[in-house]
């Protein structure tokens, strides 16, 4: 498993870099979700953060599919992520086909093609601020080594949120969480704008926004805010849409390695 160790080391190295460089919290967490899939062999993963009222919100996911996002949303009422958030413990369910404590979540997850789900708490001191969630097609348990890696990645995700420079004016936990959540909402709004301008799905719009931000070396949240505000220059907006379309013609992007991490 030498390959995995290399990948793990590079993942943490990248995250360590974010502690000194200016970075975008949604971008880094999205990358981290992608890495969970690679490292743990899961089908999908996502990170949820709680707002000041304790409601869970999607911060990042390995894919932006509507069914995956919907599964996270259900969890404001029930589900493994909510249970993990409330208890502060890992919640692992190896086979959703068998009896589960979640009458709404379990069938929805199975309809989306997921048969096992695992949630790991993101903890700051004694506060649970969110969860890292792994979805698997095969109904099977995580190996002990996988569990350690997953919990380490959850810790890394927590550190990333806390290091978010966007809320530099305050180092308070609530302020940092609120800032991260607002970043995510701005990105959802920008996905809508780009999706309408480019007449593509919102998942594709996210890919366009992300690759544009990377190619210009700009923060994803800043690009999203400029798109929503209409303060992105016309030339830049044209470039964002044109580059997106170009990508669409030769797309294999979902499986390409992250330029930032390789």
Partner 1 sequence: MTADRDRWVPIMMLIAAPDGAELTGSGLCAASAELLGVDGAAIALMTGKGVPVATYRSDPAFQPIEDLQLVLGVGPCLDAYRERRPVVEADLATGSTLRWPGLAPLALDAGIRSISAFPLRIGAARFGALTAYDSRPGALEGSRLDDALALSAIVTRTLVAMQLDGAAGDLVPGLSRASLVGDNLPPARLPSGEIDHAEVHQASGMVSVQLGIDVGDALARLRARAFADGTTVREVAAEVVARRLRFDP
Among 95, 146, 182, 258, binds partner 1 (CB under 8 A): 182
Q: For residue 21, give both structure tokens.
A: 């460089």
- Binding partner 1 (rule: CB under 8 A), the pick from 225, 240, 241, 244 is 225
Judge contact between 214 and 259, C-beta under 8 A.
yes
In the DSSP assignment, the letter for residue 78 is S
Sign of CA dihedral 241, 247, 248, 252: negative
The yes or no reply on residue 67 touching partner 1 (CB under 8 A) is no
Q: Which stretch binds partner 1 (CB under 8 A): 113-121, 184-192, 232-240, 247-255?
A: 184-192
CA distance 42 to 113: 12
Q: Give the one residue of 41, 141, 192, 248 binding partner 1; rule: CB under 8 A.
A: 192
68 binds partner 1 (CB under 8 A): no
- Residue 233 CB, shortest distance to partner 1, in Å, is 17
Nearer to partner 1, 14 or 75 (CB): 75
Q: Which of 10, 65, 73, 151 binds partner 1 (CB under 8 A)?
A: 73
Q: Judged by CB under 8 A, which of 10, 151, 189, 211 binds partner 1?
A: 189
The smaller minimum CB distance to partner 1, of residues 57 and 93, is found at 57
Cα 149 from Cα 170, distance rounded (Å): 31
DSSP code, position 41: -
For residue 13, the tally of other CB atoms under 10 A from its CB is 10
Find how far residue 213's CA is from the centre of its chain. Answer: 17
The packing angle between helices 220-229 and 25-40, to 10°, is: 130
15 DSSP 8-state letter: H
C-beta neighbour count of 131 within 10 angstroms: 32
Cβ atoms of 135 and 106 within 8 Å: the answer is no
The nearest distance, CB 166 to partner 1, in angstroms, is 9
| Binding test (CB under 8 A) with partner 1, winner from 37, 108, 159, 173 | 173
Minimum separation from the CB atom of position 192 to partner 1 (A): 2
Binding mask 37-66 for partner 1 (x = CB under 8 A): --------------xxxxxxxx-------x
Residues that bind partner 1 in the complex, under the rule CB under 8 A: 51-58, 66, 69, 73, 76, 167, 169-170, 172-175, 178, 182-197, 202, 224-225, 228-229
């Amino acid at each position: 498993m030498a390959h995995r160790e290399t990948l793990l080391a590079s993942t943490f190295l990248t995250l360590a870099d974010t502690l000194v460089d200016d970075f975008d919290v949604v971008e880094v967490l999205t990358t981290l979700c992608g890495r969970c899939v690679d490292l743990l062999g899961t089908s999908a993963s996502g990170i949820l953060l709680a707002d000041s009222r304790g409601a869970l919100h999607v911060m990042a996911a390995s894919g932006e599919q509507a069914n995956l996002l919907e599964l996270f949303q259900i969890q404001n009422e029930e589900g493994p992520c909510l249970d993990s958030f409330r208890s502060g413990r890992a919640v692992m369910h190896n086979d959703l086909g068998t009896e589960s404590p979640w009458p709404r979540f379990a069938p929805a997850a199975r309809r989306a093609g997921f048969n096992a789900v695992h949630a790991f708490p993101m903890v700051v001191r004694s506060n649970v601020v969110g969860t890292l969630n792994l979805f698997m097609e095969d109904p099977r348990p995580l190996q002990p080594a996988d569990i350690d890696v997953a919990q380490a990645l959850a810790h890394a995700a927590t550190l990333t949120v806390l290091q978010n420079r966007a809320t530099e004016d305050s180092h308070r936990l609530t302020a940092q969480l609120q800032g991260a959540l607002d970043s995510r909402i701005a990105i959802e709004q920008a996905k809508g704008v780009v999706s309408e301008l480019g007449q593509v799905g919102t998942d594709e719009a996210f890919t366009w926004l992300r690759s544009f931000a990377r190619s210009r070396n700009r923060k994803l949240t800043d690009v999203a805010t400029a798109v929503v505000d209409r303060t992105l220059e016309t030339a830049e907006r044209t470039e964002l849409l044109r580059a997106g379309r170009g990508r669409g013609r030769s797309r294999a992007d979902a499986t390409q390695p992250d330029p930032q991490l390789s």
